[in-house]
């Protein structure tokens, strides 16, 4: 297919994908808040049932993402995107009739399985819809809009739950899936690389090739390990943020929302900075820089000097997290061969889901033993020092050619 010349804003297909992606992400926040309210207040769910709710969102991706990645590399990605949005909308409609926690959890698991296909589909479509010289901007804009939904979505979701009903919030998410699908239908036909459409390829061999691509590229392998280790540390403490804020500033729950908002704004600004770039290399240097900023943010957050400094530390943390996520996403989309991108992103999604499940479990246990402020402090120091260690390791291994 032909790409638009000039500004990326003239690429109608990319803009449609970006709008579709943003709409469904905002809708997911409405759904997320509504289900927590229903579980807690309508069904009086136990702590165990609430934990099942969060697992239901994450666990299917851990199990099915690698299979989904193979599927994405073998079929028309645009068609898969439309189908998964429609199925997700239908399954979400079923939540309106759920009368017990386990019924709702079963539907969420089914929808999460479908979403495990949708995620690598969206990521590979982005690569197909933009030219090589616009790829850095496209990934940065995609990450920026995702962070924007983290700021807008929780605010609107909480507001609608408060002044409307939980089922209205779920209905908004249903509508968002169908609007997203209707937008994707208008995207022009995409030419898929012919080798991808071979149906007789052995699925197990394709899965092994996905892992082989990761391990044979030192750039991808090193950066992926770096990202996952930092993400594990982030998830260990991020899940305890509410407890830390309540410990430092009791009886002021609004502070937590503002801290999350400031972090989101920092990530948005970082995404905006990269959206102005046409090219990117020196991936490891940027990842190290993001790790530094995250460490500084967590360390300062662990000490309560003033509310203003707390918000500033959250902003610095957001800049670091935004830098880490944007650069990592650019790396994966630029350096992975296009015909294998679905499989690699599926593997990446599976590992990421495992980290996001394991991290809070480890963090909760450590907080129980050592205390919440201490854990934030230690993670901050580790992230800050990790940058120096990583740079030293890179030089000792003589892999300066890694960009």
Q: Is 203 exposed, middle or buried (0-12, 13-18, 19+ CB in 10 A)?
A: exposed
Spatial separation of the C-alpha atoms in residues 194 and 75, rounded to whole Å: 10
Instruction: Map 127-185 to HEC letters.
Output: HHHCCHHHHHHHHHHHHHHHHHHHHHHHHHHHHHHHHCCHHHHHHHHHHHHHHHHHHHH
d(CA 236, CA 223): 20
CB 240 within 8 A of CB 363: yes
5 in a structural domain: no
Shared domain for 129 and 239, answered yes or no, is no
Please tell me whether residues 57 and 155 are part of one structural domain.
Answer: yes
257 and 383 inside one domain? yes
Residue 194 inside a domain? The answer is: yes
Distance between CA atoms of residues 115 and 351, nearest Å: 16
Whether residues 264 and 332 share a domain: the answer is yes
> 111: closest CA among 99, 135, 93, 129?
93
CA dihedral 403, 382, 308, 156 (to 10 degrees): 70
Separation of alpha carbons 318 and 264, rounded Å: 6
Tell me, yes or no, whether 142 and 224 share the same domain: no
- CATH number of the structural domain spanning residue 378: 1.20.1250.20
Asked if 72 contacts 207 with a C-beta cutoff of 8 angstroms, the reply is: no
pLDDT of residue 23: 93
Q: Are residues 161 and 242 both part of a single domain?
A: no
The total of other beta-carbon atoms located within 10 Å of residue 170's CB is 24
Nearest to 6 by CA among 128, 102, 130, 95: 130
Q: Note whether residue 268 is domain-resident.
A: yes
pLDDT for position 191: 52
Domain count for the chain = 2
Q: Residue 164 belongs to what domain range? A: 11-200
**Can you give the pTM of this predicted structure?**
0.79
Q: Is 2 a member of any domain?
A: no
* Same domain? 49 vs 61: yes
pLDDT in tens, the chain (403 residues): 455 556 788 889 999 999 999 999 888 888 887 887 888 778 887 767 777 888 888 888 888 888 888 888 778 888 889 999 999 999 999 999 998 889 999 999 999 999 888 878 887 888 888 887 888 888 888 888 888 887 787 777 777 777 777 888 899 999 999 999 999 999 985 554 444 444 456 777 777 888 888 888 888 888 899 899 999 999 988 878 878 887 888 877 678 778 888 888 898 898 888 877 766 677 878 888 899 899 999 999 888 778 889 999 999 999 999 999 989 988 888 888 877 788 888 888 889 888 988 988 888 888 888 888 899 999 999 998 876 676 666 555 544 444 4
Q: How far apart are CA 249 and CA 252, in angstroms?
A: 6
Same domain, yes or no: 311 and 190: no
What pLDDT, on the 0 to 100 scale, is given for residue 253? 65
Question: pLDDT value at position 195?
Answer: 45
End-to-end CA distance of the chain: 29
Asked which of 200, 215, 230 is the last residue of a domain, the reply is: 200
Q: What is the model's pLDDT at position 401?
A: 43
160 and 146, same domain (yes or no): yes
Of 39, 32, 28, whose CA–CA distance to 102 is shortest?
A: 39
């Amino acid at each position: 297919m032909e790409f638009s010349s000039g500004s990326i804003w003239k690429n109608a297909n990319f803009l449609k994908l970006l709008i579709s992606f943003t709409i469904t992400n905002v809708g997911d926040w409405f759904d997320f808040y509504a289900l927590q309210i229903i579980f807690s207040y309508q069904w009086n769910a136990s702590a165990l049932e609430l934990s099942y709710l969060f697992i239901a969102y994450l666990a299917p991706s851990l199990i099915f993402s690698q299979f989904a990645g193979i599927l994405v590399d073998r079929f028309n990605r645009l068609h898969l995107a439309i189908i998964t949005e429609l199925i997700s909308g239908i399954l979400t409609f079923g939540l309106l009739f759920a009368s017990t926690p386990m019924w709702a959890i079963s539907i969420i698991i089914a929808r999460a399985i479908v979403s495990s296909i949708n995620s690598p589909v969206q990521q590979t479509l982005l690569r197909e819809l933009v030219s090589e010289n616009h790829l850095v901007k496209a990934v940065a804009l995609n990450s920026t809009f995702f962070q924007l939904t983290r700021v807008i979505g929780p605010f609107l979701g909480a507001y609608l739950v408060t002044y409307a009903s939980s089922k209205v919030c779920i209905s908004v998410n249903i509508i968002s899936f169908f609007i997203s699908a209707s937008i994707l239908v208008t995207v022009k036909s995409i030419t898929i690389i012919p080798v991808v459409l071979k149906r007789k390829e052995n699925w197990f061999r394709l899965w092994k090739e996905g892992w082989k691509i990761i391990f044979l590229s030192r750039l991808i392998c090193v950066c992926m390990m770096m990202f996952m280790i930092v993400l594990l540390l982030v998830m260990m403490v991020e899940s305890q943020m509410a407890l830390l804020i309540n410990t430092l500033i009791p009886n002021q729950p609004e502070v937590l929302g503002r801290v999350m908002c400031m972090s989101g704004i920092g990530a948005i600004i970082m995404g905006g900075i990269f959206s102005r770039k046409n090219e990117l290399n020196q991936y490891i240097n940027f990842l190290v820089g993001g790790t530094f900023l995250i460490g500084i943010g967590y360390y300062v957050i662990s000490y309560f000097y003033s509310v203003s400094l707390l918000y500033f530390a959250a902003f610095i943390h957001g800049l670091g997290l935004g830098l880490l996520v944007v650069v990592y996403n650019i790396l994966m989309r630029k350096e992975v061969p296009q015909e294998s991108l679905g499989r690699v992103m599926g593997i990446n999604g599976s590992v990421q889901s495992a980290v996001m499940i394991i991290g809070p479990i480890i963090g909760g246990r450590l907080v129980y033993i050592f205390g919440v402020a201490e854990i934030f402090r230690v993670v901050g120091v580790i992230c800050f020092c990790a940058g120096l260690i990583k740079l030293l390791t890179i030089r000792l291994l003589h892999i300066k050619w890694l960009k």
